[in-house]
Structure 1
Amino acid sequence: MSSSEREDDTGGVHIAVPDFQDIMLPLLRLAGEGEQSFNESLEKLAEEFQLSPDDLNELMPSGSPKFRSRVSWAKTYLKKAGLLESRKRGFFNITERGLEVLKEDPSVIDVDFLMQFPEFAEFREGSGKPRKIRKRRRKRAGSRKERLTPEERLERAHDELRKGLAAEILDIVRNSSPEFFERLVVDLLVRMGYGGSREDAGSAIGRQGDGGVDGIIKEDRLGLDVIYIQAKRWNSSVSRPEIQKFVGALQGKRAKKGIFITTSDFTAGAREYVSKIDSRIVLIDGMQMANYMIEHGVGVTEVAYYSVKKIDNDYFSE
């Protein structure tokens, strides 16, 4: 009997909440039918897996609904592999790559299958190197984790949770309004120690521009120096010419320091240019911004806390 099955009261086999990897292929097929809302996809998948009300009400230790969490993780992994995308908040679509995968009619889509895509390999292991699919393979990526100590598995799980949360945050921010993005930038910089009070920061940042905000903010509460801010709510990469414009704006304001925040990323040329100029420019890409939000508690809330303990050798010494 598989981990997603259990015996019911009559002795028959009942399909319990499926593993998040078992959800991947049905979710991709569902997206292949057209744009889907996340909530509607939950209902359709629950019907496909024949889940009972008790299954749908089953909670994780953190208190989150297990099925909803697993569907969300399946969606996140498919998006990181480039098979799904979000064009507006709360909805997702299949990509051209996703359609090509469906044409191949795979029997299963799991972590091992997704490792063939460089974006997912980078997200999963930081290598960016795709892995060939083995013809005979049913062992999940979890089999590799079983060789790790419990402490190492916990650390790996925490890292995966953080990466998934950062990806979800970035997706929401990219689909937010310019006004919301403006408030987010202010909140984040204040939490990071810039701008003095929120009122000071809010009055300094607020000149709405092309999909973002820009302005001047105090470097510290005493206002001994100022930092020029440029924020772009973009999907495309920020290239060198945009950074050069930013540096020109700094010179025009006689500013020496600047922060460029984007919801996308920066080209290699942009980063190389910043490393060679005299002005102190800090580049914050989308994933860095999302991780700063997690670190400083902006737009996130704690749902569970796990205390890891070890032997107190001093206590047991005689």
Structure 2
Amino acid sequence: MKGPEFLKYINPVLTTLQSNGGAGEVTDVIEQVIDKLGITESELEETISNGQSRVRNQIQWARFYLFKAGLIDNAQRGIWRLTNEGLDKKLSDDDVYKLFKGVQDSVKKETPSQPKKIEPRFENTPTEDEEHSVGLINIIQNLPAAGFEKLCKRLLTEIGINEITITGGSGDQGIDGKGIVKLNDVVSLNIVFQCKRYKETVSPHHVRDFRGAMQGRGEKGLIITTGRFTKEAKNEANRDGVTPIELIDGDRLVELFEKYRLGLKPVTVFEIEQEFFRTFN
């Protein structure tokens, strides 16, 4: 296919959203695209200069161009949703390249008075939506271990977990904290959690070790990481016949910080709608 490498993800993102009924949470859509294309763990471990997954960055660029082409809307953070045009759109490889060139041409027309910018190197550049995500994860990864545990406590409190206690220490056996999830006025669950301030991946043995540590200490387990979980780790977390463990990776962590406005301020950005002014010519 002609053009930047990220163009190969345009159709998988589009068709994944179409098969989902037109919308999906960002992390779920990206995982579905990765599964659909059979992307390997070694490919997922490749990073760009800022440490972000190269594959995930490319998928984000595909979404960005679908948005600029009017096939995805940008109305709700954390959700990728097709427009009416995108719901039934079919794209050949030639159509994808035309979409790419069309978006680039429209951007140039919108900013005629500005000096010409060098085209971004898509393989090393985060999209506009990702810039704060990369910065947020970098800040969290550089916190001390105790600071990350306190931050996780704050997040879980915002989510609605009660009576949270940080238990991390030399004798914690892999349990960094515990709390209570109230299901209703009379029923509650004890939850234990582990905080992994990782840049690398979390493997199945980490999940198994945590499950062993939580036996007799909680009905529900949660692992929070600034990195990501391998496919095998996700399978282990939901393996039949054992206590399921909830997983929050770096991408999901960013979504939760956005949702609860923790350390982030929303910014309104205006874009010119050229189509509106054409009716006055």
Superposed counterparts of 1:124-143, under 5 Å: 124-125=61-62, 142-143=103-104
Distance 1:261 1:83, change over 3 A: closer
Superposed counterparts of 1:149-188, under 5 Å: 161-188=128-155
Superposed counterparts of 1:40-55, under 5 Å: none
- Cα deviation, residue 183, structure 1: 1.7
* Partner of residue 156, structure 2: 189
Instruction: Confirm or deny that 1:120 pairs with 2:57.
Output: yes
- AA at the equivalent of 2:258: I
* Partner of residue 257, structure 2: 293
2:235 maps to which of 268, 272, 287: 272
Mapped contact 1:191–1:296 kept (Cα < 8 A)? yes
CA–CA distance in 2 between the matches of 1:305 and 1:185?
A: 30
* Partner of residue 226, structure 2: 263
Q: Secondary structure at the match of 1:302?
A: coil
Q: Secondary structure at the match of 2:57?
A: helix
Instruction: Confirm or deny that 1:84 pairs with 2:49.
Output: yes
- Cα deviation, residue 229, structure 1: 0.5
Mapped contact 2:203–2:232 kept (Cα < 8 A)? yes
- AA at the equivalent of 1:220: K
Distance 1:234 1:81, change over 3 A: closer
2:248 maps to which of 267, 281, 284: 284
* Partner of residue 193, structure 2: 229
- Cα deviation, residue 275, structure 1: 2.1
Greater RCO (Cα-Cα under 8 Å, separation 6 or more): 2
Mapped contact 1:228–1:257 kept (Cα < 8 A)? yes
Root-mean-square deviation (Å): 3.5
Distance 1:177 1:145, change over 3 A: farther
Superposed counterparts of 1:11-30, under 5 Å: none
- Superposed CA offset, 1:13-37 (max 9, x none): xxxxxxxxxxxxxxxxxxxxxxxxx
Distance 1:85 1:251, change over 3 A: same
User: What is the number of equivalent residue pairs in this alignment?
Assistant: 167
* Partner of residue 13, structure 2: none
- Which has the larger Rg? 1
CA–CA distance in 2 between the matches of 1:239 and 1:83?
A: 22
- Superposed CA offset, 1:78-118 (max 9, x none): xx9944237xxxxxxxxxxxxxxxxxxxxxxxxxxxxxx64
Q: Secondary structure at the match of 1:217?
A: strand
* Partner of residue 217, structure 1: 179
Mapped contact 2:201–2:230 kept (Cα < 8 A)? yes
CA–CA distance in 1 between the matches of 2:212 and 2:246?
A: 15
- Cα deviation, residue 273, structure 1: 1.3
CA–CA distance in 2 between the matches of 1:304 and 1:290?
A: 19
CA–CA distance in 1 between the matches of 2:56 and 2:244?
A: 31
- AA at the equivalent of 1:181: F
* Partner of residue 10, structure 2: none
Distance 1:171 1:275, change over 3 A: same
CA–CA distance in 2 between the matches of 1:228 and 1:298?
A: 22
CA–CA distance in 2 between the matches of 1:163 and 1:85?
A: 11
- Cα deviation, residue 216, structure 1: 1.1
Distance 1:186 1:143, change over 3 A: same
- Cα deviation, residue 180, structure 1: 1.9
% identical aligned pairs = 24
CA–CA distance in 1 between the matches of 2:230 and 2:56?
A: 16
List gaps (5 residues or longer) in structure 1: 1-79, 87-116, 127-138, 147-159, 307-318
- AA at the equivalent of 2:154: D
Q: Secondary structure at the match of 2:229?
A: coil
* Partner of residue 207, structure 2: 243
Runs of 4+ aligned residues of structure 1 deviating over 6 Å after TM superposition are: none
- Cα deviation, residue 298, structure 1: 1.0
- Cα deviation, residue 224, structure 1: 1.9
- Cα deviation, residue 299, structure 1: 1.1
